[in-house]
Amino acid sequence: MYTEYLDLETDNGRRVLVWPVPYEGTVSFGSGTENGPAAILRASAEIETWNEATGLDLADYAHFRTLSPFHPPVAGPQAVYEAMREKLRQDPAFDPARDFLLTLGGEHSVALAPIAAYAEAYPDLVVLQIDAHADLRESFEGSPYSHACVMARVRELGLPLAQIGIRSLSRDESTTIHASGAHELLTLFAHDLPGPEEAAKRLREFVADRPLYLSFDADGLDPSVLPGTGTPEPGGLQLQWLNRFWTALGPALRLVGMDFCELAPQPAAGVVSESTAVQAINAVLLRTFAPTA
Amino acid sequence: MYTEYLDLETDNGRRVLVWPVPYEGTVSFGSGTENGPAAILRASAEIETWNEATGLDLADYAHFRTLSPFHPPVAGPQAVYEAMREKLRQDPAFDPARDFLLTLGGEHSVALAPIAAYAEAYPDLVVLQIDAHADLRESFEGSPYSHACVMARVRELGLPLAQIGIRSLSRDESTTIHASGAHELLTLFAHDLPGPEEAAKRLREFVADRPLYLSFDADGLDPSVLPGTGTPEPGGLQLQWLNRFWTALGPALRLVGMDFCELAPQPAAGVVSESTAVQAINAVLLRTFAPTA
Amino acid sequence: MYTEYLDLETDNGRRVLVWPVPYEGTVSFGSGTENGPAAILRASAEIETWNEATGLDLADYAHFRTLSPFHPPVAGPQAVYEAMREKLRQDPAFDPARDFLLTLGGEHSVALAPIAAYAEAYPDLVVLQIDAHADLRESFEGSPYSHACVMARVRELGLPLAQIGIRSLSRDESTTIHASGAHELLTLFAHDLPGPEEAAKRLREFVADRPLYLSFDADGLDPSVLPGTGTPEPGGLQLQWLNRFWTALGPALRLVGMDFCELAPQPAAGVVSESTAVQAINAVLLRTFAPTA
Amino acid sequence: MYTEYLDLETDNGRRVLVWPVPYEGTVSFGSGTENGPAAILRASAEIETWNEATGLDLADYAHFRTLSPFHPPVAGPQAVYEAMREKLRQDPAFDPARDFLLTLGGEHSVALAPIAAYAEAYPDLVVLQIDAHADLRESFEGSPYSHACVMARVRELGLPLAQIGIRSLSRDESTTIHASGAHELLTLFAHDLPGPEEAAKRLREFVADRPLYLSFDADGLDPSVLPGTGTPEPGGLQLQWLNRFWTALGPALRLVGMDFCELAPQPAAGVVSESTAVQAINAVLLRTFAPTA
Amino acid sequence: MYTEYLDLETDNGRRVLVWPVPYEGTVSFGSGTENGPAAILRASAEIETWNEATGLDLADYAHFRTLSPFHPPVAGPQAVYEAMREKLRQDPAFDPARDFLLTLGGEHSVALAPIAAYAEAYPDLVVLQIDAHADLRESFEGSPYSHACVMARVRELGLPLAQIGIRSLSRDESTTIHASGAHELLTLFAHDLPGPEEAAKRLREFVADRPLYLSFDADGLDPSVLPGTGTPEPGGLQLQWLNRFWTALGPALRLVGMDFCELAPQPAAGVVSESTAVQAINAVLLRTFAPTA
Amino acid sequence: MYTEYLDLETDNGRRVLVWPVPYEGTVSFGSGTENGPAAILRASAEIETWNEATGLDLADYAHFRTLSPFHPPVAGPQAVYEAMREKLRQDPAFDPARDFLLTLGGEHSVALAPIAAYAEAYPDLVVLQIDAHADLRESFEGSPYSHACVMARVRELGLPLAQIGIRSLSRDESTTIHASGAHELLTLFAHDLPGPEEAAKRLREFVADRPLYLSFDADGLDPSVLPGTGTPEPGGLQLQWLNRFWTALGPALRLVGMDFCELAPQPAAGVVSESTAVQAINAVLLRTFAPTA
Ligand SMILES: [Mn+2]
Ligand SMILES: [Mn+2]
Ligand SMILES: [Mn+2]
Ligand SMILES: [Mn+2]
Ligand SMILES: [Mn+2]
Ligand SMILES: [Mn+2]
Ligand SMILES: [Mn+2]
Ligand SMILES: [Mn+2]
Ligand SMILES: [Mn+2]
Ligand SMILES: [Mn+2]
Ligand SMILES: [Mn+2]
Ligand SMILES: [Mn+2]
């Protein structure tokens, strides 16, 4: 019975458009990402917007307008991509050059349409991917639009890509990463993750002053704080690392849009995963919209 | 840890090929049909093959060979159909003119490939559908290969269709049914279901001596005995009705293959649905392969 | 991600206001009624509005406007009642003399506020309760506003009460029933339930031409078709009985509002209960708004 | 938090000893019978003791004392049997010649110890089994003390056995049944179950005036009203049939003890099964202890 | 089937009264705290009392008497508080000046009654709260007795309050904390938590030699070790931190009573949360009752 | 629908026999270990074999042959042990002097049979146990073959035992440990766990050049990364510690076989536990079969 992100009654600060995209294609291992958007909306009402560590309140810097959920076609992930692309093009409420869109997946393949929309508005867009998986396969299980291929498609759009938290990939994906130029691909693997300040420094150098889009796959986080994903991988990012990372990135970064994907809520196991998801999203938004001391 | 249908160690009677097809497309309402095949294999080991009412034992009349599960592509239901078609064409173990194939879904769209295979072998094939839904839509949620369209596709193959248990359909599907000729479509609605003997008489007249394929959607059964389906509809068939119906059909019918689809097991709710499913399947097989007194 | 009752895009026929009231007080036995409204809204999108038995489509006779969900206070069931009363009084969208309100519980205590609102508009209102329980206790577990007392409170409003399906009650409630006058209380127990036509005849005589409010406790239905309630009682009403009952009641009855309460969806057990709930609600609405042949 | 059967504060009528035996041996199919006793105790607090159909209140005719739960050894079902036997022999609170013991399983193998205790006290004891399964195997999965063998062991004690509701058995068990003398074994199969009055007549003739023990396997009931068992079998007994059966048996029968086994509660699926279980148990107790009009 | 805290058969050391209070008011987000006490009793039987790190056995220093569970009224949290207060006043088994009471919630609001009872016996009582939330709101969702207000009520009793692990609060609560005097309120936020020895030093200075009551909200612990709470907040306390903290506090502290609240067990997700809860409780008890080397 | 460990199509490197033993004896606390093998097989198909940290691919160094699952008798844990022993003796596919067997439990008692088989082939075998529990009881709940006694039985075979991660034990087990000679028992408790390099040094000294068998109880791992076990104990091993430990052990160690037991998957809570289990197993196998740089 919660249909809005946060239950603010203000219109302070920047407007954030929230787009629920409850799409899950052919189910494989742990499933349930089609329930991700509803769980995030529900949990958002329970999370305090006040941030004691910074003395800032997200409610002072952003307000939210939740769009109608996207009803995906069943004809496969390419059809979903095309329908999302069309929807974003036709929706008078959304202008990528103006609006901050928070897309709530659904599987990670739903990130492609908003990235393509922003890339049209910002030809020099850089994408930052938080993920356990590289998602750089050419094709997977018969489709180049599988969630396991989404960043291969992003790179085909000509966009530089930074990846953080990667710890599960094929030998081919590893070869691709190591063969890529330092200006097109930056991968910070989980197994030798630098400190958050060093990571921030490397990302700032990679992005420079270009606009940034954040594609946040829930499984980038450690399963101890977010167990509810389809393919959990131990050894992931901690919220504390991310919070220090966002702080270290500082206000110079220009985040223009983001998605949060692959949350597969487990209602019989409580609400830890969706709570963590909202904490992770709100931390990004606070750092993006609040002036840093 | 059960990978075979039944755990017989005999090779009595007719060989039945069992094909698990754990496919579920874009998830909508109640989900879980991709777990149907495993649940049916598991339950089959628990159901007695002895039938006290008839004094017959299915183990005397059939033995089973379970094929490798089909791993569906993710590119959508049309791609799944085509891959299944190809698989059946290439599998040297399966000859539709010779073999009885029991396909275990998965969603109902997986019935189309085996029906097409049998239609090629038997040009005069008739299809019998047990279902709560008419599945006669031209297209649904963006695909003509959706489970809600499978019998529209069957009819496009030129096959006569008999339907039993229908109680959920659109106005358009109703119009289609009432506009169809008595030789192409026979629909026995659940709301005025005849007795099983009368129903058998009408089906025998419809089929005559042509070969028959049975497409059994689990939701044709009443949810009180099979609650585990994606779109349960009260007012469905009881097992007793079906058992009397198969008996009344008698040995004249030539069943050449069948599928059982749309079982969505609910592991946290026990094993009622898969137990009923196996009872329903075994009843068909016993009536098909055992000489009736 | 479904926030409206049915997903109609028409405004045919009568407008129905739908009010989700996800209230559950102190949890006792089987719980989860606070999730009832969301489950009903979700399921409503899956149920066909076409009714093959009558050749009528609910979508021709009604359209729906779903109100904001009620957020109950935590101060106890009396506070909830008062807040609901106040909300109904102040909501300019709702006029009991004009509007058909479909309240979705939540526990049965949430029926009291809409009944009181209609009683104010219609001093000669009669209440029809479908329930396994008599709900006639003076007080229960420390509160006269418990769900087990709701019909005692209704009778204190001076409203005649008809009950159908009752099969669980205390000795005191039994005494109350047998001591009540035939004009104030009509109880059709489940253990000697008359046929639907006879039941309809008795209700028509009881109601005469007065306006009627229907308070539908989900546990009135048999648990074989609606297992998801907090206190399931075997031996309840079947949907077929109810459908014949509504038909037999005929168009003379003036239903002015209704509630459907006590659905406790069990997401890990599938969607049978909410599907049945929507079927039961839609059957009432179709008989209420469609002209009968 | 419910540790007593019913929450009566009276000591009216006959004392019933209630013995929780939460034993489940090697888990096979649907599991969870070790949670049966707790679920029954919990549900018993929610079921009204007033019976509207008879105008009788169980609380006037019986009171309950719940014994400490039995903690089964892990050394296998024979060790469990022996430990239960020893416990019953040593417990000063229990005298089979005097006390009515209601044993709450656990799997059906736990019935053997109380039956043996009563057989010692009543050499002419007759056993009535309500069950979907014959439980007449000589040995099962490596043990003659498996739940599938419990009635074979009962017959080895020399006790006549009546069975009702049987619908799942092996060919060997069928042969055993048909080869048994009419005075040692009476089997009423579910597939041609007589009416309850005829069944009662046949049981009265079988038992004559001998003392009777009731071993009630939950799966004897139809899964539509009691889905929570390990091996549910469609086509079982309805509560209404049983209620009419108990009434028809009348007060002449001398029930000396009973068990209720094989309830496998499914907490994520609600409380239907345990509610039905308590209704079924209380109906037996009321007919046993209340003078019939 | 476990109704006692621990399954000791000794009466060594200090007697601890254990009071299960399975109360949950209006359900909001993750629910299930009404099942907390039963889960803790159950888990307590599985946790070893031997502590290898200290070479001490809790069973040498404490024994337990579990009181009847409290059956809360449904009239709201204020009525629950008053009924608990009355119960504690009237129970001859409990004397706050003499007895160590371990109250098992239920939601955190159930802590107020035992705190008030101890405050009456010890006018100089200090309260230590372990929690993710400040619980200092004046009123919440319509009641000043909500779990979100319990420490505001404690402070109204005039009791000094120390808080550890706080990481979720409103701006108003933050203002309250920063405006409070150092002698009335000590808050150790999770975002800059000192080491356990430093924290112990600060608490010892705050408490001095006054008697202490511990109110332990399960969500104070990190969700990675205790996911089963209604509003899990990442970034919480680790058991190791707490163990070192209790050690550092040393034997000087006079703990007179405690509660453990807000455990919402998730039976379908295993038993991690209740196991952690018992470990956390036993660690407190061992440090309280055992002489430290 | 996954019946093989990993889905490799190669036969590179060493052959590993995988034996699913889905045995759980009398169920006590958290249950479900009988579902462990199927969950591990299923998860193995989802875990990448490529290891980015080492630049090695397990698929280059091992291939897998999964044996038929063991169907345990129900006569108790001793009967299970004997049947497993017999099976291993008779299976022509398995020669302990030649084959690496990966046994997948089931409860920990299933480790005894493979250990005994290897001990026969390697009289100087040393056993390494990873576990939260010492498993050194003489007898538990009536059986010396309980999972809580498995390492007492191993020691009776005369095998030296090293234990890592122990944090739950009885006083008697503690006494046993401290009384044992340094050459027969090495216990690294969790509460003062050395660094992985120091631990590896101590184990190398204990084992010297003797053959080693690894018995891996899933609860040795921390519940934050593997919550799905029957008796989770906070404060366990992290995967990172283990990975560094295996690296530090180096190629000198001769691992001849292993088991992984006590995984109790929680399907309603996602797939974290089985994913972690496969990661833990594959890490052992990679270090065992790949030449280290
Ligand atoms: Mn990922
Ligand atoms: Mn991804
Ligand atoms: Mn269907
Ligand atoms: Mn269908
Ligand atoms: Mn009711
Ligand atoms: Mn009611
Ligand atoms: Mn039985
Ligand atoms: Mn049975
Ligand atoms: Mn809290
Ligand atoms: Mn709190
Ligand atoms: Mn172990
Ligand atoms: Mn262990």
Contact at CB, E229 and A270, closer than 8 angstroms:
yes
The reply, when asked if residue A131 is annotated as ligand binding, is yes
Please check whether residue F9 lies inside any domain of the structure: no
Chains contacting chain C through 3 or more C-beta pairs under 8 A: A, B, D, E
Closest CA to F161 of F131, F128, F198, F118: F128
Residue C225 scores a pLDDT above 80: yes
Q: How far apart are CA F150 and CA F138, in angstroms?
A: 9
Among the bound ligands, name the one nearest to the CA of residue B148.
Answer: 4
SS3 of D127, please? strand
pLDDT of residue A252: 66
Does a structural domain hold residue D201? yes
Residue F257 and residue F254: Cα distance in Å, rounded?
9
CATH number at residue E233: 3.40.800.10
CA of residue F42 to ligand 1 center, whole Å: 18
Structural domain range at position A244: 14-289
Residue B239 to chain C, least CA–CA distance (Å): 15
Contact C262, C219 (CB under 8 A): yes
Say if the Cβ atoms of B1 and F38 lie within 8 Å.
yes
Is A108 annotated to bind ligand? Answer: yes
Are E264 and A270 a contacting pair at CB < 8 A?
A: yes
User: Closest to B225 (Cβ–Cβ): which among D191, D234, D268?
Assistant: D234
CB contact under 8 A, D227 and C231: no
3-state secondary structure B26-59: CCCCCCCHHHHHHHHHHHHCCCCCEECCCCEEHH
- Per residue in A105-151, pLDDT (tens digit) is 999 999 999 999 999 999 999 999 999 999 999 999 999 999 999 99
Contact partners, residue F274, CB within 8 Å, separation at least 6: F39, F40, F42, F43, F228, F263, F265
Mean pLDDT score, C240-255: 90
Residues 6+ apart with CB under 8 A from A192: F53
Task: Tell me the average pLDDT across A15-20.
Answer: 97
| Average pLDDT per consecutive 10 residues, chain E (293 residues; last block may be shorter) | 83 95 79 93 95 96 95 94 98 96 97 98 98 97 96 98 98 98 97 97 96 98 96 96 94 90 94 97 95 63
DSSP-derived secondary structure letter, E51 = E
D264 and B270 within 8 Å at the Cβ level: the answer is yes
**Per-residue confidence band for F10, with pLDDT thresholds at 50, 70 and 90:** confident
Average pLDDT, chain B: 95
E177 in Cβ contact with E187 (< 8 Å)? yes
Concatenating the DSSP letter of every residue in B97-124 gives TT-EEEEEESSGGGGHHHHHHHHHH-TT
Q: Helix-strand-coil percent breakdown of chain D, rounded to 5?
A: 40, 20, 40
pLDDT tens for F119-159 read 999 999 999 999 999 999 999 999 999 999 999 999 999 99
Cα C218 versus chain centre, distance: 8
What is the biggest distance separating any 2 CA atoms in chain F, rounded to whole angstroms? Answer: 50
Contact between A72 and B146 using a beta-carbon 8 Å cutoff? no
In this structure, what are the phi and psi dihedrals at residue F216, rounded to the nearest 5 degrees? -110, 105
Q: Please report residues of A whose CB lies closer than 8 A to that of B72.
A: 26
| Count of positions (residues) in chain A | 293
More confident residue, B228 or F252: B228
Nearest CA in chain C to E78: C75
Would you call E272 an interface residue with chain A, using a CB distance cutoff of 8 Å?
Answer: no
Does C293 have pLDDT greater than 60? no
The response to whether A95 counts as a known ligand-binding position is no
Establish if B6 belongs to a structural domain. Answer: no
Within E204-253, strands assigned E span 211-217
- Backbone angle region of B135, left / alpha / beta, with phi > 0 → left and psi within -120 to 50 → alpha: left
Classify the C-alpha dihedral A228-A233-A239-A244 as positive or negative: negative
> What percent of chain F lies above the pLDDT cut of 90?
91
Across the interface, which of F1, F20, F69 has its CB nearest the CB of B69?
Answer: F1
Band (pLDDT 50/70/90 cuts) for residue C133 is: very high
Task: Give a yes or no: residue D124 inside a domain.
Answer: yes
Check: CB of residue D259 under 8 Å from CB of residue D104: yes
By residue count, chain C amounts to 293
For the question of an ipTM over 0.90, the answer is yes
| CB-based contact C19:C70 (threshold 8 Å) | yes
State yes or no: D131 annotated in a binding site.
yes
Is the CB of D163 inside 8 Å of chain C's CB atoms? no
CA distance C271 to C277: 10
Q: Is A219 annotated as a binding residue?
A: yes
Reported as a pLDDT band with limits 50, 70 and 90, residue B174 is very high
pLDDT digits (tens, 9 = 90+) for B51-92: 999 999 999 999 999 999 999 999 999 999 999 999 999 999
User: First vs last Cα of chain A: how many Å apart?
Assistant: 37
Question: Residue C26: is its pLDDT beyond 90?
Answer: no
Residue B14, strand partner residues: B62
pLDDT reading at B27 higher than 60: no
For D166-208, the pLDDT digits (tens) are 999 999 999 999 999 999 999 999 999 999 999 999 999 999 9
Nearest to F191 among E46, E52, E272 (CB): E52
Cβ contact F132:F220 at 8 Å:
yes
C132 Cα distance to chain centroid: 12
What are the CA-CA distances from residue A131 to residues A38, A75, A183 (Å)? 21, 27, 20
Does some domain include residue B5? Answer: no
Distance from CA of C74 to the nearest CA of E (A): 5
F222-234 pLDDT, tens per residue? 999 999 999 999 9
List the structure tokens of C255: 């239903």
Is residue B70 within 8 Å of residue B23, measured between CB atoms? Answer: yes
Number of domains in chain A: 1
Q: Examine residue B112 and state whether it is found in any structural domain, yes or no.
A: yes
**Residue D30 pLDDT more than 90?**
no
Task: Name the band, by pLDDT with cuts 50, 70 and 90, for residue B236.
Answer: very high
E144 token code pair? 């000043």
Nearest-Å Rg of the Cα atoms of chain D is: 17
C-alpha F229 to ligand 11 mean position (Å): 10
Percentage of chain D with pLDDT > 90?
91
Token duo for residue D206? 């079988």
Beta bridge partners of B4: none
Give the best residue of B29, B187, B263 to mutate against chain C (max C CB count within 10 A): B29
DSSP line for B228-260? -BSS--SS-B-HHHHHHHHHHH-TT-EEEEEEE
The string of DSSP letters for F183-245 reads: TTEEEEEGGGPPPHHHHHHHHHHHHTTSEEEEEEEGGGB-TTT---BSS--SS-B-HHHHHHH
pLDDT in tens, C80-129: 999 999 999 999 999 999 999 999 999 999 999 999 999 999 999 999 99
- Position A2 confidence tier, pLDDT thresholds 50, 70, 90: confident
Torsion angle in degrees (nearest 10) through CA of D145, D147, D152, D154? 90
Q: What distance lies between CA C96 and its chain's CA centroid?
A: 16
What pLDDT, in 10s, does the model give residues B120-170? 999 999 999 999 999 999 999 999 999 999 999 999 999 999 999 999 999
**Closest residue in F to B23 (Cα–Cα):** F1
Q: Tell me whether residue D70 is in a domain.
A: yes
Write out the E strands in chain D.
Answer: 14-21, 50-51, 56-57, 62-66, 100-105, 126-130, 161-166, 185-189, 211-217, 254-261
pLDDT score recorded for residue B292: 65
On whether any CB of chain E is under 8 Å from the CB of F230, the answer is yes
| DSSP bridge pairs for B212 | B126, B255
**Chain D window 9-48: which residues touch C at a Cβ cutoff of 8 Å?**
42-43, 46-48
Element (H, E) at F176: helix F171-179
Chains E and F form CB pairs within 8 A to the count of 67
CB contact under 8 A, E38 and D1: yes
Angle between helix F272-289 and F36-44 (nearest 10): 70
- E2 is a domain residue: no
Averaged pLDDT score across all residues of chain C = 95
Residues of chain F found within 8 Å of residue E266, distances taken between Cβ atoms: 269
Touching A (3+ Cβ pairs <8 A), the chains are B, C, E, F
